[in-house]
Structure 1
Amino acid sequence: MLELAFPWVLVALPLPLLVLWLAPPRREVVEAIRFPFFEGASAGLDKGEGAVVPARSSPRMAFVWALWALVLLTLARPQWVGEPVERTETARDVMLAVDISGSMRTRDFIGADGIRGSRLDGVKAVLDGFIADRRDDRVGLIVFGDAPYTLVPFTRDTAAARTLLATLEPGMAGQNTMLGDAIGLAIRSFEASKVESRILILLSDGSDTGSRMAPKSAAEIASQNGVVIHTIAVGDPEASGDDDKVDIATLQAIASATGGDFNRAEDAVGLAAIYARIDAAGARQGATTSWRPRTPLSAFPAAAFAALVILARAAMLLTARARRPGEGTS
């Protein structure tokens, strides 16, 4: 849609008419030759005071008027206004902390297709859909094993987050499970967040193996910083190895300390349902802002003005040269 930023400028369009009406014709003094017999030679002619008023031809007046209109149009700043563009502000920040210790390669997780696969592959498949569904949220991803690492800082670029998620393999960060340190890293990630709703989804299949910060202490600090932690247990609590046995009590305590929920996921369907409940419980509508992109078009009438002036000047030069036929001949 075409609009004018300053349409009131066009009020000056009839200004030349007022000038013609109110201002007297321009007079100028020029040299002249006196003829003694002028009275006889000028019989029948109207004689004035000697003023010469150039004739105003219609094409010339139309040309001047067109130049004036182009000047006003340029000053009015025409612009093309596009379709409305809406942007939804971030409603909440969601950090996903995923255990990628060696035990996550255990093939006891039933996928959505009913086929048994590794725990991490099943988690990745469900997480991929969860991240893709983020509309008004920023999402981040922390992975942990022997130490926690920020794989994806808070972003709205869900495509990049899903691409990096697909690269995860069990044991990439070591064989241990540093639950407390992962929570500590998430708290630091939330420090720069200006969003009130801060959610950490902590997913693990083992027990803490020597974090510098105890998981329960880290959860208390998270609660003081407004971070709600939802914990999800993937491993088998009856497993024989201590490193492979999920610490249900610790995960429950972490969730309870921050007002979050504890859940157990044994297959893809159950894990997807857990994510859906967490998403619905913390759902919040982000503020929406709308604007229309504007493309300035003032250059077009300005260019037309310059082109007309150049053409008029060229026409004047050609006309003057045509009136001097002997010029340029030998």
Structure 2
Amino acid sequence: MIHFAWPWALLLLPLPYLVRCLAPPALAAEEAALWVPRLSRFDVARHQQSRRARSRVAMLLAILCWLLLVLACARPQWLGAPLELPVSGRDLLLAVDISGSMQTEDFELHGQQVDRLTALKQIADPFIARRSGDRIGLILFGDQAYVQTPLTFDRTMVTQLLDEAAIGLAGKQTAIGDAIGLALKRTAEGEAHKRVLILLTDGANTAGQLAPLKAAELAAQQGLKIYTIGIGADEMQVRSFFFSQTVNPSADLDEKTLRSIAEQTGGRYFRAHDSAELEQIYQLLDQLEPAVRARELYRPVTDLFVWPLGLALAGAVILLLRDALAALRRRA
């Protein structure tokens, strides 16, 4: 649709008429009638009629130029279709453990036994897709932590890079404290009440330079809320050549530390023994940290004033050339 940025400029349209009405009249000599004593001189009258016709055309052209000039002053604009912009929601970081223990196959998906990281990916993908309005980031950690995806509104890219994560890329051990410290660096410029870290691990802190509880203390001071998720089954059947035995594959999970990290930062600790529980945790996180639903719309604006302005200038040039040619004819 067409919109005028300065519609008040249209009030200038009657200005030439007001000037004509208020200005003093022209000299009588300039409006004197032409007396023709003989009929044989009607060729002069015809010349005068042609001159008056050209004068009327020039007047109409001048009026048109004025209309176009005022129209350009009103700044006509074309408003495009509304576009939805990403809104400023939370800075939500996922810190995912890819240490060697994540290859333990104690989770089940679609009737098949899978390792913990595979189950985590399958269940985390829909969660990421639902976080419309949030900036999502991804941290992977093993012996050390590194940023796989910086904070971004591109949820598709975060999902893709999470799916490409492989066990052992960052080493076989677990640096929980370093993962929290890296999250603090990546969210340092965000608003305190909008920064959230979801940390998923199946073990205890066995590597890194920063202790998990010290990292949690720093996170609490800087307003980073941490939700911790401990994953892994409590029982698992291990088969040997002659018999099978029941073992606890989550014996190394440090639930006490994970719970303390969450409590210090205002978050919560969750325990996921299987895929169903992990999915329920993600749904609960959607309720605890709901995505921003308000939309922000933007309409692209294209200025159109150059067209009437260009036509007005072209008309003015035509009038100037006409007057110049008339002056040359009179001199000739």
Name the TM-score, length of structure 1 as normaliser: 0.80
User: For the structure 1 residues 41 and 288, does the alpha-carbon distance in structure 2 shift closer, same or farther, using more than 3 Å as the test?
Assistant: closer
Equivalent residues of 1:93, 1:195 under 8 A apart: no
Equivalent residues of 2:233, 2:250 under 8 A apart: no
Matches within 5 A, 1:87-102: 87=85, 89-102=87-100
Local SS of the residue matching 1:231: strand
1:73 equivalent among 71, 74, 77: 71
Q: Deviations over 1:104-125 (max 9, x none)?
A: 12222212x2322121111111
One-letter amino acid of the structure 2 residue matched with residue 20 of structure 1: R
Q: Offset at 1:90?
A: 2.1
1:208 equivalent among 205, 208, 211: 205
Residues in 2 aligned to 1:27 and 1:235: alpha-carbon distance in whole angstroms: 106
Residues in 1 aligned to 2:297 and 2:144: alpha-carbon distance in whole angstroms: 43
User: For the structure 1 residues 226 and 19, does the alpha-carbon distance in structure 2 shift closer, same or farther, using more than 3 Å as the test?
Assistant: closer
Local SS of the residue matching 2:193: coil
Are 1:276 and 2:273 counterparts?
no
One-letter amino acid of the structure 2 residue matched with residue 305 of structure 1: A
Q: Offset at 1:175?
A: 0.4
* Structure 2 residues without counterparts, runs of 5 or longer: 42-47, 237-246
Q: Offset at 1:291?
A: 4.5
Residues in 2 aligned to 1:121 and 1:26: alpha-carbon distance in whole angstroms: 97
Higher helix share: 2
The answer for the alignment partner of 1:13 in structure 2 is: 13
Q: Deviations over 1:174-218 (max 9, x none)?
A: 000111111121122221212423211110112211332222222
Q: Deviations over 1:51-105 (max 9, x none)?
A: x9x7474333211110111111111111112344454532322111100012212
Which stretch has the larger CA shift, 236-245 or 100-109?
236-245
Which stretch has the larger CA shift, 236-245 or 202-211?
236-245
Residues in 1 aligned to 2:6 and 2:81: alpha-carbon distance in whole angstroms: 21
Matches within 5 A, 1:192-207: 192-207=189-204
Q: Offset at 1:220?
A: 2.2
Are 1:3 and 2:10 counterparts?
no
The answer for the alignment partner of 1:24 in structure 2 is: 25
* Structure 1 residues without counterparts, runs of 5 or longer: 30-39, 46-51, 324-330
Name the TM-score, length of structure 2 as normaliser: 0.79
The answer for the alignment partner of 2:57 in structure 1 is: 59
Residues in 2 aligned to 1:107 and 1:166: alpha-carbon distance in whole angstroms: 17
Residues in 1 aligned to 2:256 and 2:6: alpha-carbon distance in whole angstroms: 68
Equivalent residues of 1:236, 1:244 under 8 A apart: no
Q: Offset at 1:319?
A: 9.6
Equivalent residues of 2:91, 2:195 under 8 A apart: yes
Matches within 5 A, 1:1-330: 1-21=1-21, 22-25=23-26, 42=37, 55=52, 57-87=55-85, 89-111=87-109, 113-236=110-233, 245-283=252-290, 285=292, 289-309=296-316
Q: Deviations over 1:1-27 (max 9, x none)?
A: 212222222222222223333343379
Local SS of the residue matching 1:196: helix
Residues in 1 aligned to 2:27 and 2:189: alpha-carbon distance in whole angstroms: 72
Residues in 1 aligned to 2:27 and 2:284: alpha-carbon distance in whole angstroms: 86
C-alpha RMSD over aligned residues: 3.5
Equivalent residues of 2:213, 2:260 under 8 A apart: yes
One-letter amino acid of the structure 2 residue matched with residue 71 of structure 1: L
